[in-house]
């Protein structure tokens, strides 16, 4: 594949458009694109990372696997050097191994859930490529759900309806600007997170929409341990409950509404079921504890008077309750979701302009400002003959305890016996919790294959590593899952070294397995792109939209499609006529009590919202490790992607990830701003750089995700040198209902690191034999 002769100078990524600067056939910089009023600074990572020392340039095989063949690795994965090989050697050995695993154990022994964001681009989407290839040769065990909002995906269909509809149909911020008076944001609305939208975006809109709300006098309350979770232009009041206690706070608000007769009985009667069960629980009739504002203060630390005043204000104003996705990425993460719905139901404003609730503002750049009117053409994945799957956050359990039984959304299931693991477009050594346990789990399979363009920690823990072309090195078109822009994305430069597109790799591999025709259907990349675009043109025509042909599209700028519902109010149709527009729940109404969930008999997710303190508080761990660790999304990168790029590096302290700590906690530990510190608990330890700030609540430390995991296997607990929070988080799940990840419920202790700190090795290539 050669670079376009006359590249329209544009690149499209999950964080939006960029204006590339090319010099001598090399990408030297990606600048803000003039079409985007609020361009993302993440473009500043691209050139440095794609041209960085960690770039995978040639196929590589772990030395022990190359010499001795497949088998459990007993600590060698992530430790042993690699040998660089040519493509024929890599693909011959991989095809042979695929044949062996399929013959000996069947395709049900291949795990290719391959969870992760990969990169934008409709055709080169890595998971689609991998799944299409594996489906052509007998299938694979997949994963279900995600790390973003798994509890919402499983819980909300029982309570209100599909969570993805919540996100797409979220009440528009423009509607709040016109009709809203108060927005109470549990988990805030961090602007840093609104840089990205899954699949890409044309322009960033949230900044402008929030400014309009502020200009119209809407009042914002930021309920979060981080002051910066609200844009300063909002002038938000800051309330900082202890992490993991929002449910108690919400219950204190709810019980105040009920005690003072401020709840909307007519709404509850007409639109919900189960209010009496919840009211009985809040009144203390179930466990003897009334969930009053005073009780809430004892759990969450917010003064009772403040809770009572806020409840009254919420009842007196047009109020939007916003719940960040992070709150359900925690122990019992279903509860804040269910309680958000319950609290909004008590206020009775669901379905009214500017009021009700939203779960997921800030989860990407599109929620509340845009939706996609049509689904552009995609590369078909084919059919997977293997039905088996795991809930995505059970990957370590799967590898460590094959055959183990578990509960999931009313089912009793068993974990598969996996021999081969394949990841393309995700980084489990970024996204999964308790990385020391994952490291042990990754020794178990007989073969681990990873496709990536950088030597991530996951690539380092593989046996066979395949170098792929990055977005700027391949021709594609970009369209986000919720954005309205169709973006031509030309190949700007050639892939370095021997890197190839995944389509080329899988075509050649399929050839070795007698499945080339099944995989390619006789088409090359450009044929597929034209085919996918032709289907997009056809779908658009069905909406009365005329799109140019492929050639003219690729030579043009992004095309913006109309917003299907510019003044959307979530659940307004249901509110207008609940009989004609029932919810897809068993009762057709909002289920504040769910017979279905109650029938599952889960003590960790009973039939209505309940308060349960985080595991670490309940079991006393928090007394030994007194700081609550939050690990939110990083401002300077997308997850772990391009951590070795210039913008990400510019925010490090002594080359390490910054950890935010309150001045009182810093003083108590003898820590000064800029010190190298060590965070530790029973699961692991890591170094980080201290950032002392009163913009974080006392008792909480905040270490952003995404610093490439950099374990030193010779240190106790294989201490991570770089600052990856997932060495400290547990990988227990939210509950038996949804088995979602619960990363936000971790407790740690901190100390200053004295003496010389070890060099960070994560951005260097691994050792080659």
Ligand X SMILES: Nc1nc2c(c(=O)[nH]1)N[C@H]1C(S)=C(S)[C@@H](COP(=O)(O)OP(=O)(O)OC[C@H]3O[C@@H](n4cnc5c(=O)[nH]c(N)nc54)[C@H](O)[C@@H]3O)O[C@H]1N2
- Which residues belong to the active site? 115, 117
Nearest distance from C-beta of residue 328 to ligand X, angstroms: 8
Pairing assessment for the beta strands 559-560 and 485-489 based on DSSP bridges: antiparallel
Q: Which residues of 355-370 are buried (b: 16+ CB within 10 A; e: fewer)?
A: bbbbbbbbbbbbbbbb
434 binds Mo ion (CB under 5 A): no
Q: Which is nearer to ligand X, 222 or 520 (CB)?
A: 222
222 binds ligand X (CB under 6 A): no
Question: What's the longest Cα–Cα distance across the chain?
Answer: 75
What six digits make up the tokens of 618? 């309940």
Q: Which of 42, 41, 1, 6 is nearest to 22 (CA)?
A: 6
What string marks each residue from 95 to 134 as x (binds Mo ion by CB under 5 A) or -? ----------------------------------------
Number of residues located near ligand X, criterion CB under 6 A? 63
What six digits make up the tokens of 19? 């204006």
Name which of ligand X, Mo ion, none residue 725 binds, using a CB cut-off of 5 to 8 Å depending on partner kind.
ligand X
Please identify, among the stretches 257-265, 300-308, 309-317, 426-434, the one whose residues bind ligand X according to the rule CB under 6 A. Answer: 426-434
Q: Which is nearer to Mo ion, 60 or 152 (CB)?
A: 152
Q: Which is nearer to Mo ion, 27 or 324 (CB)?
A: 324
**Inter-residue contact 221 to 313 (CB < 8 Å):** no
190 binds ligand X (CB under 6 A): yes
Nearest distance from C-beta of residue 105 to Mo ion, angstroms: 32
Q: Which of 245, 221, 262, 292 is nearest to 622 (CA)?
A: 245
Q: Estimate the share of the chain in helix, then strand, then coil, as percent rounded to the nearest 5.
A: 35, 20, 50
Q: Which is nearer to ligand X, 195 or 482 (CB)?
A: 195
**Inter-residue contact 582 to 507 (CB < 8 Å):** no
Which one of 113, 606, 634, 723 is in contact with ligand X (CB under 6 A)? 634
DSSP E strands: which ranges in 256-299? Answer: 272-273
453 binds ligand X (CB under 6 A): yes
243 binds ligand X (CB under 6 A): yes
Sheet holding 11-13: strands in order across? 11-13, 16-23, 26-32
What is the DSSP secondary structure assignment for residue 19, as one 8-state letter?
Answer: E
**Inter-residue contact 467 to 56 (CB < 8 Å):** yes
Nearest distance from C-beta of residue 117 to ligand X, angstroms: 4
**Cα–Cα distance list, 419 to 441, 452, 688 (Å):** 12, 21, 36
State the residue number with the nearest CB to Mo ion.
Answer: 148
Number of residues located near Mo ion, criterion CB under 5 A? 1
394 binds ligand X (CB under 6 A): no
Nearest distance from C-beta of residue 582 to ligand X, angstroms: 30
Which one of 202, 632, 655, 689 is in contact with ligand X (CB under 6 A)? 632
Q: Which is nearer to Mo ion, 148 or 640 (CB)?
A: 148
What is the DSSP secondary structure assignment for residue 656, as one 8-state letter?
Answer: B
Which one of 358, 705, 735, 739 is in contact with ligand X (CB under 6 A)? 705
According to DSSP H, which parts of 137-274 are helical? 150-159, 163-168, 173-179, 206-215, 246-259, 265-271
What six digits make up the tokens of 336? 């804040």
What lies within 8 Å, CB to CB, of 18 at 6+ separation is 10, 11, 12, 30, 31, 32, 33, 39, 43, 46
Which one of 256, 631, 681, 734 is in contact with ligand X (CB under 6 A)? 631
Q: In whole angstroms, give the CA distance from residue 182 to residue 322.
A: 11
Q: Which residues from 609-668 bind Mo ion, rule CB under 5 A?
A: none
Which one of 128, 135, 143, 148 is in contact with ligand X (CB under 6 A)? 148
681 binds ligand X (CB under 6 A): no
What string marks each residue from 86 to 125 as x (binds ligand X by CB under 6 A) or -? ------------------------------xxxx----x-
229 binds ligand X (CB under 6 A): yes
Q: Which is nearer to ligand X, 64 or 725 (CB)?
A: 725
Name which of ligand X, Mo ion, none residue 363 binds, using a CB cut-off of 5 to 8 Å depending on partner kind.
ligand X
Which one of 329, 685, 733, 763 is in contact with ligand X (CB under 6 A)? 329
Which one of 327, 395, 441, 515 is in contact with ligand X (CB under 6 A)? 327
Q: Which residues from 485-514 bind ligand X, rule CB under 6 A?
A: 502
726 binds ligand X (CB under 6 A): yes
424 binds ligand X (CB under 6 A): yes
Name which of Mo ion, ligand X, none residue 425 binds, using a CB cut-off of 5 to 8 Å depending on partner kind.
ligand X
**Cα–Cα distance list, 682 to 433, 434, 598, 686 (Å):** 14, 10, 34, 12
Please identify, among the stretches 28-36, 100-108, 153-161, 240-248, the one whose residues bind ligand X according to the rule CB under 6 A. Answer: 240-248
What six digits make up the tokens of 88? 């024929």
State the residue number with the nearest CB to ligand X.
Answer: 632
738 binds ligand X (CB under 6 A): no
Name which of Mo ion, ligand X, none residue 272 binds, using a CB cut-off of 5 to 8 Å depending on partner kind.
none
Name which of Mo ion, ligand X, none residue 251 binds, using a CB cut-off of 5 to 8 Å depending on partner kind.
none
What is the DSSP secondary structure assignment for residue 198, as one 8-state letter?
Answer: T
Name which of Mo ion, ligand X, none residue 196 binds, using a CB cut-off of 5 to 8 Å depending on partner kind.
ligand X
Which one of 12, 145, 180, 244 is in contact with ligand X (CB under 6 A)? 244
Q: Angle at Cα 355 formed by Cα 595 and Cα 201, nearest 5°?
A: 95
Q: In whole angstroms, give the CA distance from residue 518 to residue 260.
A: 67
366 binds ligand X (CB under 6 A): no
148 binds Mo ion (CB under 5 A): yes
Pairing assessment for the beta strands 272-273 and 237-239 based on DSSP bridges: unpaired
60 binds ligand X (CB under 6 A): no
**DSSP SS3 for 659:** strand
Pairing assessment for the beta strands 700-703 and 658-661 based on DSSP bridges: antiparallel
Place of tokens 């309330």: 239
Which residue pairs, CB below 8 angstroms and at least 24 apart, start in 66-70?
66/93, 70/97, 70/100, 70/101, 70/419, 70/446, 70/447, 70/463
Which one of 268, 386, 515, 638 is in contact with ligand X (CB under 6 A)? 638
User: For 407, phi and psi rounded to 5 degrees?
Assistant: -100, 150
What lies within 8 Å, CB to CB, of 576 at 6+ separation is 351
45 binds ligand X (CB under 6 A): no
Q: Which is nearer to ligand X, 176 or 324 (CB)?
A: 324
**Inter-residue contact 125 to 306 (CB < 8 Å):** no
Please identify, among the stretches 150-158, 218-226, 486-494, 654-662, the one whose residues bind ligand X according to the rule CB under 6 A. Answer: 218-226
Q: Which is nearer to ligand X, 49 or 292 (CB)?
A: 49
Q: Which is nearer to ligand X, 13 or 272 (CB)?
A: 13
Q: In whole angstroms, give the CA distance from residue 174 to residue 185.
A: 17
Q: At what angle do helices 304-316 and 246-259 cross, to 10 degrees?
A: 60
Q: Which is nearer to Mo ion, 107 or 148 (CB)?
A: 148
Nearest distance from C-beta of residue 452 to ligand X, angstroms: 5
Q: Which is nearer to Mo ion, 148 or 594 (CB)?
A: 148
Q: In whole angstroms, give the CA distance from residue 232 to residue 250.
A: 25
According to DSSP H, which parts of 426-567 are helical? 428-431, 435-441, 457-460, 502-512, 516-520, 525-542, 550-554
Q: Which is nearer to ligand X, 328 or 572 (CB)?
A: 328
Q: Which is nearer to ligand X, 489 or 520 (CB)?
A: 489
Sites of contact with Mo ion (CB under 5 A): 148
Sites of contact with ligand X (CB under 6 A): 116-119, 124, 126, 147-148, 186-188, 190, 192-193, 195-196, 223-226, 229, 241, 243-244, 246, 324-327, 329-330, 362-364, 424-427, 430-431, 451-454, 456, 468, 502, 630-635, 638-641, 705, 725-726, 729, 743-744
């Amino acid at each position: 594949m050669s670079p376009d002769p006359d590249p329209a100078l544009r690149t499209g990524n999950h964080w939006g458009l960029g204006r590339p600067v090319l010099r001598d056939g090399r990408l030297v910089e990606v600048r803000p694109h003039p079409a985007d009023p609020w361009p993302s600074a993440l473009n500043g990572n691209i050139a440095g990372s794609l041209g960085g020392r960690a770039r995978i340039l040639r196929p590589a095989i772990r030395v022990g696997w190359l010499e001795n063949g497949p088998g459990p690795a007993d600590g060698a994965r992530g430790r042993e050097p690699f040998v660089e090989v040519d493509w024929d050697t890599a693909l011959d050995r991989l095809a042979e191994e695929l044949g062996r695993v399929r013959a000996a154990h069947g395709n049900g022994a291949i795990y290719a859930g391959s969870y992760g964001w990969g990169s934008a681009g409709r055709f080169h989407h890595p998971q689609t490529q991998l799944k299409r290839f594996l489906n052509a040769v007998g299938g694979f065990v997949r994963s279900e759900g995600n790390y973003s909002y798994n509890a919402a995906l499983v819980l909300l269909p029982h309570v209100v309806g599909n969570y993805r509809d919540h996100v797409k149909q979220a009440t528009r911020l423009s509607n709040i600007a016109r009709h809203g008076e108060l927005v109470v944001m549990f988990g805030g609305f961090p602007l840093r997170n609104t840089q990205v939208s899954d699949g890409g975006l044309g322009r960033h809109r949230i900044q402008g929409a929030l400014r309009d709300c502020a200009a119209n006098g809407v009042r914002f309350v930021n309920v979060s341990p981080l002051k910066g979770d609200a844009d300063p232009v909002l002038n938000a009041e800051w309330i900082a409950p202890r992490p993991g206690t929002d449910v108690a706070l919400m219950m204190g608000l709810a019980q105040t509404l009920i005690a003072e007769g401020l709840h909307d009985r007519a709404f509850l009667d007409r639109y919900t079921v189960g209010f009496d069960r919840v009211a009985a629980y809040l009144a203390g009739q179930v466990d003897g504890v009334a969930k009053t504002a005073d009780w809430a203060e004892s759990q969450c630390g917010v003064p009772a008077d403040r809770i009572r005043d806020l409840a009254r204000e919420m009842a007196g104003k047009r109020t939007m309750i916003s719940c960040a996705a992070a709150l359900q990425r925690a122990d019992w993460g279903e509860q804040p979701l269910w309680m958000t719905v319950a609290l909004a139901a008590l206020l009775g404003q669901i379905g009214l302009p500017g009021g009700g609730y939203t779960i997921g503002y800030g989860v990407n750049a599109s929620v509340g400002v845009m939706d996609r009117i049509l689904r552009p053409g995609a590369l078909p994945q084919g059919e997977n003959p293997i039905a088996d799957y795991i809930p995505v956050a059970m990957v370590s359990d799967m590898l460590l305890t094959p055959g183990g039984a578990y509960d999931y959304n009313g089912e009793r299931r068993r974990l598969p016996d996996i021999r081969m693991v394949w990841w393309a477009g995700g980084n489990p050594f970024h996204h999964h919790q308790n990385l020391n346990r994952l490291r042990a789990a990754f020794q178990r399979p007989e073969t681990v294959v990873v496709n990536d363009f950088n030597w991530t920690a996951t690539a380092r823990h593989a046996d066979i590593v395949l170098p792929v072309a990055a977005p700027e090195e391949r021709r594609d078109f970009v369209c986000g899952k919720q954005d309205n822009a169709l973006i031509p994305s030309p190949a700007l430069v050639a892939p370095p070294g021997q890197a190839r597109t995944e389509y080329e790799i899988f075509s050649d591999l399929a050839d070795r397995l007698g499945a080339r025709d099944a995989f390619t259907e006789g088409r090359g990349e450009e044929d597929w792109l034209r085919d996918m675009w032709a289907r997009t043109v056809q779908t658009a025509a069905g909406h009365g939209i005329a799109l140019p042909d492929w050639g003219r599209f690729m030579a043009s700028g992004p095309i913006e499609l109309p917003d299907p519902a510019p003044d959307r109010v979530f659940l307004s149709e249901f509110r207008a006529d609940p009989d004609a527009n029932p919810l897809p729940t068993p009762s057709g109404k909002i289920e504040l009590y769910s017979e279905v969930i109650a029938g599952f008999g889960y003590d960790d997710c009973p039939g209505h919202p309940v308060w349960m303190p985080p595991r670490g508080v309940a079991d006393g761990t928090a007394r030994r490790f007194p700081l609550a660790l939050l690990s939110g999304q990083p401002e300077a990168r997308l997850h772990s992607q391009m951590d070795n790029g210039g913008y990400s590096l510019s925010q490090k302290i002594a080359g390490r990830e910054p950890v935010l700590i309150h001045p009182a906690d810093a003083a108590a530990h003898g820590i000064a701003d800029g010190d190298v510190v060590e965070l530790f608990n029973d699961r692991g330890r890591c170094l980080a750089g201290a950032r002392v700030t009163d913009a974080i609540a006392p008792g909480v430390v905040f270490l952003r995700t995404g610093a490439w995991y950099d374990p030193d296997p010779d240190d106790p607990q294989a201490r991570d040198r770089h600052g990856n929070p997932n060495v400290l988080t547990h990988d227990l799940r939210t509950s038996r209902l949804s088995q979602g990840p619960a990363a936000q419920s971790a407790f740690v202790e901190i100390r200053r690191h004295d003496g010389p700190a070890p060099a960070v090795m994560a951005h260097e290539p691994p050792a080659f034999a």
